[in-house]
Structures are given as structure tokens and as C-alpha cells.
Chain A
């Protein structure tokens, strides 16, 4: 089975078919989009089953000619890191489509267009994870912006038109700046790397120190903007605040992970020396991000912006985990990428459900909403707890791995990062308290939607995420088994001998067995 090309193509084909549904038949478009996303989920499950956790580094390889003169191919392959991210996407998209069922109607724009854009976004995001050719990756990395831009600009009805235009343009320009810097680096790598884009070939190329550092910088800045790391983060709260909740869940839950994934797939293996050289800076930025974003999150009045800021803090943890260069921290960082997608995805979706009922995103417009909507408030509480990494829920495992992995090599960094956990408790608990606890805001009683608790559709959206958060909180092994070998491969070039430590719970089976 050609799982990877199918995974990339099916959503794009689906987007095309949904786009051609006439505007007058929104229900048909929604159902069609949902069916397509479930088909993609099925292919994703197939890919997961076909993948051998202890097999070679890159698996499910496919390759087709594209531009032979440039050494560019349509080649697809995944390692464990890419595989778990793809699993996250194919799981989240059907849920987001279900959760966004009525979102597009508010915008008075074409409903089929919205769902077509969601599917196009899914296809391009999967493409960034499946490509094994640097030019192909770059292609998806850039094209991914286009559907997201239109989703934010056209369908973000929670904010005034001017603000969402601003957010959409800011999002596009920030990403494009990063993208073009990366283009320069991609071209440079191509010229100095022997006119090939094949990722595996390029890992064997020895770049000189200067070249390596410049190329690293080109890639890293693009990924740091995408992730985003402090100080490149300012577009995210605007975009996350303006996007419809479902799209915001994808934006923060998955699209931003392309940044951290890019660092793991491209920066570290291709430019190991430069990675070591820049690591202290990257860790510094991550630490600032953890503390700064958490403090700003505490002060946010807008729920969606608040959740966006919490994400920036979480990306700081992922950054520390990657650049600590220990297997434990690395596995923790990758696991964090998955768990954060689940937790923040859930949080965004639940916030979207609150906002849809209340018609406002301001924290102060809620207050005591839990008495009116007990079940939804309960889900909100679970999502919040996951976000602050409560033991027993999945993010705790990953945060813990990052911290102990970092502690073994760099105690001060680990200690400072720990402060972030305390701050996380502050912003999450305050957010929950101010919206769902305390005296009920009298206005809420007059709003009919505020009396409708979690509907069946919404229940179907949140249930799988909650189950996964709990299951992975107690038993992360299935995911770690896939992640660990990939992380070992990825870090093998940058980990110095004295830092080598056993990866957590990795069964030692020889490759290819």
C-alpha cells in the first residue's frame, strides 16, 4: 500500500470535491468533508499498523520523479516522530470538522469553502510530515499557509472584520518571512550539498562550519517563527484569537508542530555541529518563552488569546527538550508535541463551545458558567488540567521526561523551566475559576444557548480526546515505542558521549528485525 502518498493526496482530492458542492447545499458539504476526513483516518490507521517501530529510520518509502535536473523527487517516508504527528492530524481533523459544524454559517460566507479549506489544510500539513525530499517539504510548508490564511481571514467571526484581517495578514507575512529565509537556506544547501534534495543523501553531506551555521539559521528562524518561539511569537495570539475555534485547534495543535518537527528533522541531523553551537541560544529563547508567555497568559482577558499564550509556554518546554540533547528529554519533547496537540486541541474546542454559546470570547463575560453547563464545565476542567500537566493525564508524562532529561545535563535550565509549571497552574486555575466557578453572571441566565449543555455532537468530539489524554497519561508506551527509536536516530549526531543516556523504556531490538 502506498500509505503516505495516499495520506497526502486523499485530503486534497477531498478538498476539491467539497469545494465544488454548491453553496446552497451546506449540509452535503459538511457530510462529505466528514466522510473524507474519516477515510483519511482509516488510511492513517493503516500506515500506523504498517509501520514497524523497530524497523529502519525511514519507512513506508515511496519515490516518484519530479524535477530530475534538480535532483528533486516526490519522495515520501516517515520516521516515528512524523508518524505520531500524522496520527494526531488524522485524529484531530474529523473531530474539528464535527466541532465546526455550525461555525461557517455565522460568517455568511460559503460553507463548502470552509470545509474544503479545512481538508486542504489537512492535506498540506500531512505533506510536511510525509515528505522525504527537502524541496517537497518546503512546498508543503509554504502552501500550508494559503488555506489557513483564508480560514482566519474569512471565517473568524469571533472578532471584528478589521482585527481578523490584521491577524490573517500578520500570520501570512510572519510565516512567509520565515519561509523565504528557509528558501535561501534550501537553495544554499542544494548548491553546497551536491545538487540534491534527497534528505537521506543530505544527512551524509559534511558542510563546512560557516556554511552549516548560516544554513542552520535559515531553517531555524523559519521553524522558530512557525512554532513559535519567543521573540517570534506575536502572530500566534492574534491568529489564534481570530481563527474559528476548530481551525485554531488545528493551528496550535498541529500546524505549529511543523516548526518543532522541522527542527528535529532538518536542523539537527543536517547541521549537527551548528545545532550544538546554537543550542544554548535556543534553550535561552525557550526558557524566556516559558516564563514570559505564562505571565502574559495570566493577564489575558480573551479566552482564545489566553490559550494561544499557554501554547507558546508549552512550546518553550518542547524547545528545551529538543536542545537539551539527551534521549530522555528528546523523547519527552516529541511526546509533548503529541500530548500538547491533544490537550490544547481539546482546550480550544471546548473554549469554542463556550464562546459559541455566549457569543463572546472575554473571560469577564462568563463567570459561574459551570452551574448552567455542568458537563461542559467538567470537560473544560479536564482540558485545563491536561494543559497544566496534572499527573495522571498525558502531558504530565512528557513534561516530566523533558525535565528529568534536562536535569541530568543542565540543572539550572531544568529548575527555571519548573517555574513554568507553577505559572501554568496559575493561569489555568484562574481561567477556570473566572469562567465556570463563583457567582453566576446574571446575563448568562438570559441567554438561551447557555442552558444547553454538551450536545451529542460535542460529546463525540471531546470523548476520544479525553480518553486518549487519560490512557496516555497512564500508559504512554505504545506511543513511546514508536517515538524512541526515531529520537535516538535524530539525536545520535548531536549527543556528545558523556551525555548519552538510555532512552526510557526502549525495547532493544535490532533494526530491520
Chain B
């Protein structure tokens, strides 16, 4: 490089960046609202702003979609690749975030909403009891969630490991905070946040270290250069492989794959349930979107030699998730382990490779996202004086008291179990089909085995609700407010429609499953 090197500003394609800009802008505006709008009005204002921002971003994504070509997909000096697949991932994150945000805003189930007013107050003190009972919850959750969503959207379109790392931090930090904001069971919530933060920091460190090693091999951090350097670099290939391994650890941590899954049950249990729903749906999309981009775009040149290793991780994830789910007695933890197992099924699709693998993964992410949001929304409804009653034994005989609620939850559980006529079946079929087509039959066999094991805990909940007699401690089911009802209805309807008529979404995922390098 000469001394007269001129740093040229990269050209930014604002149409492509619009969705993210809208979100980050709205998030900043949300921070200002915290300062200037009276407390009583904040929840409504923030909720409306958040929804508008998300819907606006979604509109921008949808408007952008037909105009994306191979030529104009990449912008900001190729640091971002907002291609068809990227737009689909962004759209999925936005749609799922909109549904989750409805749960954030619910105030009729609990006085003041699901969040605590001030997280820093010592747990158990007089002040703390006072705020748990009376004070309206923090409304900072909305801008935090918007920052997180913006980060996720950047994460899935990053075409450069450095940008990806920045995006990872941008969406992770708000999530750590959000986890600590549960109104009830404050200690569990704080523990969850701290655990998530510490382990997440480790994972980020791994990612960063992997990034450094890959740079050492390829001399660049963007995927195109990495791809070009494979087998052409004078450096030792070990650097690249070790780098990929460490990058994968960072990404698999976010995806909750074994053996990097240990945070999941604690965090899912401790976090406020709307946040859990948000994380289970949106973080999964972001993590798998980025993982797929790294594998398909950056490291495709390795000839998928990493498949056996990731295959072992997929098998571990499916089996550990399923087996540990059997032993759970808390519904939030049960769903957490089920989400781990589902990460394993997703990996089967990813490892199937090719267009089919990618499209099956995209389908699964959407189907699972709606399903899991609906399931967690149901959990917010079963409550007693101490908040949500998530212990399995407390659900005995709910079917007799609230048949509609139990019926809907049974339907969701059948969807989790992959019974036909639900989105769960179609999604599972898609990933397993991609697995066999990609010569990964062994993964599919383990997937089937894991599904068999995992059916048992789901069935136990069904038995609890319908076949057991109601006990004295069986809580009643609260009538959901309009926001939770809407979120639930969307989740259940999508689960049903995707089970009966998946054609449009399959069409879409097949058409978009193409990353641009």
C-alpha cells in the first residue's frame, strides 16, 4: 500500500439499509421517550412506537425484496449482503418480533405488566416488595428489544466476520439486560441474566479468537476473500479449521446447541416469559441465519469436511435436549430443553446442505418461531398469587377447568411432537428430507430417535391437563388481554395453516434460499 492511500467512504445503499435504520432510529427515539414522556403514558407510547417501527421495517423489507439482484445485494463495501435469503431472515425476525412485542405490552394479566420497575433494587427488601406489587414495569424494554432486533437483522446479513461480531454484541447486550427484568422471582431472573452474560461473553471471545485465526489464514475477514483463499493460501490450513471451529462455538452458543446449551434452561426459566418467547423465536432465527451464512458462503470451499463434527454436535444436541426434557418438572425448562432438541433438528437441515438444506432450515425457523411464541404466551396465562405457575404438577386437571385453554395447548404440544396437520410435522419433514437428500441419513435416524424420546414429556403435559384430576393447588387460567390474545391467535393459526397448507411458505423459502457471496 502506497503512502498516498486514500480512504474512500464506502457507498451505502439506503434502500437496502432502510429496515435497520428505521429500527435503530426508533430505538434511539424510544430512549428519548423514556426521558420526556410522563410515566403513565410511556407503555402505550413505547408499544405503539415499537410496533410501528417493526411494521415499518417489515414494509421496507417487503418492498425491497422484488428489487434485489445479485448485483445490488451487497452494500457498504461488501460488508453487508442483503440478499434474498438475508431479506427472508430479516423479515422472519421482524414478524416474530412483532408477535413477541404484543406479549411485552400485556398489562391486564398482572398489575404493571410482566417487567419490574427497577431491576437494581435489592431483592427481598421493602422497596422491592413495594415495586413488585404496585409500580408499573420498566418501559425501557421496548427500545432494548428494538436494538436487539436491529442487531439480529445486521447479524444475518453480515458478509464480513467483523461486522458479524459487532452485530452479535449489538443484539446480545440488550438481551442480557432484558433477562434480568422479571417482575416475579427476581433472584432467578438476575441469576439468569448474569449466567447468560458471562457465558455469552465467553462465547463472544471464542468468536473473536476464531475471527483472528481466520484472518491469520486468509488475510481478510470478508466471506468472499475467505472463500477465495481456501486452498490458495500459503498459510497452514490448521489456522482456518481452528478458526472455523471457534467461530462455530460462538454461533452454536447462541443457537443453544449441545454442548454449548447449558445456559438455555436457566435463562429461559429466569427471564420474563415474553422475553423468553422473544429469545426462543428471534435469537434462533438470527443464530441459524448467521451460522448458515458462515458455512454456506464463507467456508463452502472446505468441501463440507466439517460435516461429521457438526453432525456429532447435532446428534448430541438432539439427544441431550430430548433426554433432559423427559426429566423436567417445570414447563419453562421443559420448553427450553425442547428448544435445544429443535436446534439439533435445525442443524440436520443445515448439514443436509445445498438449496434444499437451506430452504428447509428457513421453513423450520419460521414454523418453530410462531409455535414457541404461542407456547410461551400460554404459559403467561396460568398464574396464581405468586405469578406464573409453571410447575408441571400445578397443571393437573386444567383440561376440566379450562377446556379451551387446554385444547389449544394440547394442539401446540402435538405440533412440537411433529404430529401431522401442524407446522411442526411439515418442518420436521423438510429438515429430515434435506438430511437424507444430503446423505446424512444417520443424522435423520438420530433425529427420529430423539423425536420419539421427546414425545414423552409433551405427552406427560397432555396427560396432566386432561387425564389427571384437578388438585387444590391447580391455578385458574387468566383471561388474556387483547394483546396476548392476538399473539396467541397468530401463533396458533400459523401453526395450523402451515400444517395444512404449507405450499406458499415452501415456495417462498425455496425461491429465496440463495446466499450471495
**A interface vs B, CB < 8 Å?**
65-70, 110, 138-139, 142-143, 145-146, 150, 153-154, 161, 164-165, 168-169, 172-173, 176-177, 180-181, 183-184, 187-188, 190-191
5 residue pairs of the A-B complex, CB under 8 angstroms, read: A67-B502, A146-B414, A172-B455, A180-B451, A187-B432
B230 touches A (CB below 8 Å) = no
A484 to B507, CA, bound (A): 43
Closest to B499 in A: A139
Query: Assuming the A-B contacts A68-B503, A70-B506, A161-B469, are A173 and B420 also in contact, with contact meaning beta carbons closer than 8 angstroms in the complex?
Result: no
A419 to B57, CA, bound (A): 75
A184 to B418, CA, bound (A): 13
Closest to B399 in A: A154
Majority secondary structure, A binding face: helix
B444 touches A (CB below 8 Å) = yes
A173 to B460, CA, bound (A): 11
Q: Would you list which residues of chain B between 427 and 457 have a CB under 8 Å from chain A?
A: 428-429, 432-433, 436-437, 441, 444-445, 448, 451-452, 455-456
Nearest chain B CB to A214 CB, angstrom units: 9
Besides A67-B506, A165-B468, A177-B452, 5 new A-B residue pairs in contact (Cβ under 8 A), listed by A number: A69-B503, A69-B510, A154-B466, A180-B452, A191-B433
A181 CB contacts on chain B under 8 angstroms: 448
B444 CB contacts on chain A under 8 angstroms: 184, 187-188
Q: Is the CB of A139 within 8 A of B421?
A: yes
Q: Is the CB of A143 within 8 A of B421?
A: yes
B467 touches A (CB below 8 Å) = yes
B163 CB contacts on chain A under 8 angstroms: none
B419 CB contacts on chain A under 8 angstroms: 142-143, 145-146
Q: Is the CB of A168 within 8 A of B463?
A: yes
Q: Is the CB of B420 within 8 A of A139?
A: yes
A145 CB contacts on chain B under 8 angstroms: 419
Q: Is the CB of A153 within 8 A of B436?
A: no
Nearest chain B CB to A126 CB, angstrom units: 16
A112 to B429, CA, bound (A): 34
A143 CB contacts on chain B under 8 angstroms: 419-421
Q: Is the CB of A183 within 8 A of B452?
A: no
B459 touches A (CB below 8 Å) = yes
Nearest chain A CB to B471 CB, angstrom units: 13
A371 to B432, CA, bound (A): 61
A176 to B418, CA, bound (A): 10
A191 CB contacts on chain B under 8 angstroms: 433, 436-437
Query: Assuming the A-B contacts A142-B419, A146-B414, A173-B459, are A184 and B467 also in contact, with contact meaning beta carbons closer than 8 angstroms in the complex?
Result: no
Closest to B417 in A: A176
A176 to B421, CA, bound (A): 15
Query: Assuming the A-B contacts A70-B506, A187-B444, are A150 and B466 also in contact, with contact meaning beta carbons closer than 8 angstroms in the complex?
Result: yes
- Report B177-204 CB contacts with A as 1/0, cut-off 8 Å: 0000000000000000000000000000
A150 to B466, CA, bound (A): 8
A142 CB contacts on chain B under 8 angstroms: 419-420, 425
Q: Is the CB of B433 within 8 A of A153?
A: no
Q: Is the CB of B467 within 8 A of A168?
A: yes
A14 to B460, CA, bound (A): 29
A164 to B451, CA, bound (A): 24
Q: Is the CB of B429 within 8 A of A183?
A: yes
B460 CB contacts on chain A under 8 angstroms: 169
Nearest chain B CB to A11 CB, angstrom units: 16
B436 CB contacts on chain A under 8 angstroms: 187-188, 191
Closest to B403 in A: A110
A180 to B445, CA, bound (A): 10
* Top 5 A-B pairs, shortest CB-CB distance: A139-B420, A191-B436, A153-B467, A184-B448, A165-B467
- Report B327-364 CB contacts with A as 1/0, cut-off 8 Å: 00000000000000000000000000000000000000
B468 CB contacts on chain A under 8 angstroms: 165
A164 CB contacts on chain B under 8 angstroms: 467
A146 to B414, CA, bound (A): 9
Nearest chain B CB to A63 CB, angstrom units: 15
Taking each of A154, A183, A190, which has the highest tally of chain B beta carbons within 10 Å of its own beta carbon? Answer: A183
A190 to B503, CA, bound (A): 17
Q: Is the CB of A161 within 8 A of B451?
A: no
Contact of B467 among A161, A173, A177, A187 (CB under 8 A): A161
A190 CB contacts on chain B under 8 angstroms: 433
A188 CB contacts on chain B under 8 angstroms: 436, 441, 444
A168 CB contacts on chain B under 8 angstroms: 463, 467
Closest to A189 in B: B436
Query: Assuming the A-B contacts A68-B503, A188-B436, are A138 and B420 also in contact, with contact meaning beta carbons closer than 8 angstroms in the complex?
Result: yes
Nearest chain B CB to A166 CB, angstrom units: 10
Q: Is the CB of B510 within 8 A of A187?
A: no
Q: Is the CB of A69 within 8 A of B506?
A: yes
Closest to A152 in B: B467
Nearest chain A CB to B486 CB, angstrom units: 24
B441 CB contacts on chain A under 8 angstroms: 188
A66 to B507, CA, bound (A): 12
A53 to B313, CA, bound (A): 55
Nearest chain B CB to A177 CB, angstrom units: 5
Closest to A192 in B: B436
Q: Would you list which residues of chain B between 477 and 508 have a CB under 8 Å from chain A?
A: 501-503, 506-507
Nearest chain B CB to A511 CB, angstrom units: 34
Nearest chain B CB to A370 CB, angstrom units: 37
Q: Is the CB of A187 within 8 A of B503?
A: no
Contact of B432 among A65, A172, A184 (CB under 8 A): A184
- Report B397-415 CB contacts with A as 1/0, cut-off 8 Å: 0000001000000000010
Taking each of A187, A190, A191, which has the highest tally of chain B beta carbons within 10 Å of its own beta carbon? Answer: A187
A68 to B463, CA, bound (A): 37
Q: Is the CB of B429 within 8 A of A154?
A: no
B433 CB contacts on chain A under 8 angstroms: 70, 187, 190-191
A184 to B507, CA, bound (A): 23
Q: Is the CB of A172 within 8 A of B467?
A: no
A183 to B450, CA, bound (A): 13
Nearest chain B CB to A88 CB, angstrom units: 24
Taking each of B420, B451, B452, which has the highest tally of chain A beta carbons within 10 Å of its own beta carbon? Answer: B420
Nearest chain B CB to A12 CB, angstrom units: 11
Closest to B441 in A: A188
A150 to B433, CA, bound (A): 31
A169 to B501, CA, bound (A): 30
A173 to B432, CA, bound (A): 21
B437 CB contacts on chain A under 8 angstroms: 191
A110 CB contacts on chain B under 8 angstroms: 403
A190 to B459, CA, bound (A): 29
Taking each of A110, A164, A172, which has the highest tally of chain B beta carbons within 10 Å of its own beta carbon? Answer: A172
Q: Is the CB of B448 within 8 A of A183?
A: yes
Q: Is the CB of B455 within 8 A of A173?
A: yes
A103 to B129, CA, bound (A): 53
B502 CB contacts on chain A under 8 angstroms: 67
Query: Assuming the A-B contacts A161-B469, A184-B432, A191-B437, are A69 and B507 also in contact, with contact meaning beta carbons closer than 8 angstroms in the complex?
Result: yes
A172 to B445, CA, bound (A): 20
Q: Is the CB of B463 within 8 A of A169?
A: yes
Taking each of A138, A139, A180, which has the highest tally of chain B beta carbons within 10 Å of its own beta carbon? Answer: A180
A168 to B460, CA, bound (A): 11
B448 CB contacts on chain A under 8 angstroms: 180-181, 183-184
